[in-house]
Amino acid sequence: MNYDIFITGLIIIAQILAVIVPVLISVAFLVYAERKVLALIQLRRGPNIVGPFGILQSFADALKLITKENIIPSGSNKIVFILAPIITMVLSLAGWAVIPFAPGWVVSDINVGIMYLFAVSSLGVYGIIMAGWASNSQYPFLGALRSAAQMVSYEVSIGFVIITVLLCVGSLNLSKIVLAQQTVWFAIPLLPMFIIFFISALAETNRLPFDLPEDESTLVAGFFTEYSSASFVLFFLGEYASMILMSSMTVILFLGGWLPPFDVYPLNVVPGVIWFTVKVIFILFLFIWVRGTFPRYRYDQLMRLGWKVFLPFSLFWVVATSGFLVYFDMLPN
């Protein structure tokens, strides 16, 4: 009689592994892809030594970092110092529990999927703020303070963008959000919101041009200045995993998730998971492209963009969308 619980537990663990292992492997290849794309943008060669075309470079780097000595500064608050990278890593993996890769391909198809993703991404700031405080050093502390203010500011506009999408869907379930885009992807009717969401995602994941928390030209390495070896690897993995998570969120909200661009013969034969992956790779390429192209924002400009441009605009768009839906009687049930 207890076998049922046992088997259910095993199935859940298998599902978790089936999601997390590909995510970790794709993080390794994302790092490689980023270095290659940046190299192409800057007319360099990029990594080309380890493996064919340097494809195993990230694995070599990870091995090197993990075998190094883990240094914990004597003035640091040790427990919080060690907890911070763990929290960052766990949170960037926790969000994957609700991501639907294809119809039915989801670990947990909960009713409040998008709220869960929003909650997990808003918790991401704790890893950074704890790292900055526990390091007991000036540069990490400044990085952590910048990050806290930045992530809280951009969450507000992300929230409004999500509300706009939810108004058009009528459900918080991620699979239903994807299915609501069968006629047209939300990126087309809600194009300004799509752009705002993408830029806010850059700020939320601390990527260039908004990577002020780790601003290497002024703060050495920002919040992870004092980290080395395995704890540094956790921060690094966490940052890239949350980048992929935010890209998947963008794809689900605006680019129709696993749906093909048009529901016609050669396109709708391709499995949904392939469409999903292709779209996520496209968004990730945009992340890297932006990094290779734009200079870093100044902090006051970053705050101005968040509070004075995105917030009023997205608030207006929420009102406009709901007005439109009510007026033309298009509200979903």
Partner 1 sequence: MVIYSLTFYLFSSVAVLSALMVISAKNPVHSVLFLILSFVNASGLFVLLGAEFLAMILVVVYVGAVAVLFLFVVMMLDINFVKLREGFLQYLPFGALLGIVLVIELGILFLTDRSSNIYNNQIPLQPIVSEVENTKMIGQILYTEYFYLFQICGIILLVAMIGSITLTLRDKGGVKRQNIDSQNTVDASTAIEKKKVKIGEGI
Q: Rounded to whole angstroms, how far apart are CA atoms 294 and 216?
A: 15
State the maximum Cα–Cα separation within the chain, in Å, rounded to a whole number: 65
Q: Rounded to whole angstroms, how far apart are CA atoms 99 and 263?
A: 22
Note whether 37 and 281 are within 8 A (CB).
Answer: no
Cβ nearer to partner 1, comparing 125 with 177: 125
268 binds partner 1 (CB under 8 A): no
Q: Where are the alpha helices (DSSP H) in the chain?
A: 3-41, 57-67, 78-94, 113-123, 125-134, 138-169, 174-179, 191-204, 216-219, 229-254, 265-269, 272-293, 299-304, 311-327
- In the complex, least distance from residue 246 CB atom to partner 1, rounded to whole angstroms: 15
- In the complex, least distance from residue 300 CB atom to partner 1, rounded to whole angstroms: 7
User: Among the candidate windows 16-24, 119-127, 179-187, 317-325, which touches partner 1 by CB under 8 A?
Assistant: 119-127
User: Among the candidate windows 37-45, 143-151, 179-187, 224-232, which touches partner 1 by CB under 8 A?
Assistant: 143-151
148 binds partner 1 (CB under 8 A): yes
325 binds partner 1 (CB under 8 A): no
Candidates 45, 111, 263, 331: give the one binding partner 1 (CB under 8 A). 111
Q: Rounded to whole angstroms, how far apart are CA atoms 266 and 321?
A: 34
R_g over Cα of the chain: 21
Q: Which residues lie closer than 8 Å to 239 by C-beta, 6 or more apart?
A: 88, 92, 205, 206
Cβ nearer to partner 1, comparing 31 with 114: 114
- In the complex, least distance from residue 33 CB atom to partner 1, rounded to whole angstroms: 30
User: Among the candidate windows 45-53, 152-160, 209-217, 318-326, which touches partner 1 by CB under 8 A?
Assistant: 152-160
Please compute, for residue 44, the number of CA atoms within 13 A of its CA located in the half-sphere on the CB side.
11
118 binds partner 1 (CB under 8 A): yes
145 binds partner 1 (CB under 8 A): yes
Cβ nearer to partner 1, comparing 86 with 110: 110
Q: Rounded to whole angstroms, how far apart are CA atoms 235 and 86?
A: 8
Candidates 123, 163, 220, 281: give the one binding partner 1 (CB under 8 A). 123
State the amino acid at position 196 in one-letter form: I
45 binds partner 1 (CB under 8 A): no
| Residues between 64 and 93 with contacts to partner 1, criterion CB under 8 A | 77, 80
Note whether 254 and 185 are within 8 A (CB).
Answer: yes
Candidates 130, 219, 237, 252: give the one binding partner 1 (CB under 8 A). 130
Cβ nearer to partner 1, comparing 63 with 309: 309
Q: Rounded to whole angstroms, how far apart are CA atoms 276 and 248?
A: 8
Q: How far is CA 211 from CA 63, 191, 219, 277, in A?
A: 26, 25, 11, 26
Using CB under 8 A, count the residues that bind partner 1: 30
Q: Rounded to whole angstroms, how far apart are CA atoms 221 and 213?
A: 8
- In the complex, least distance from residue 268 CB atom to partner 1, rounded to whole angstroms: 30
Torsional sign, CA 35, 39, 40, 42:
positive
- In the complex, least distance from residue 25 CB atom to partner 1, rounded to whole angstroms: 29
Q: How far is CA 285 from CA 35, 161, 211, 279, in A?
A: 11, 22, 17, 10
Cβ nearer to partner 1, comparing 30 with 142: 142
126 binds partner 1 (CB under 8 A): yes
155 binds partner 1 (CB under 8 A): yes
Note whether 70 and 85 are within 8 A (CB).
Answer: no
254 binds partner 1 (CB under 8 A): no
Kindly list the residues in this chain that would bind partner 1 in the complex (CB under 8 A): 5, 77, 80, 110-112, 115-116, 118-119, 122-123, 125-126, 129-130, 133, 141, 145, 148-149, 151-152, 155, 159, 171-172, 300-301, 304
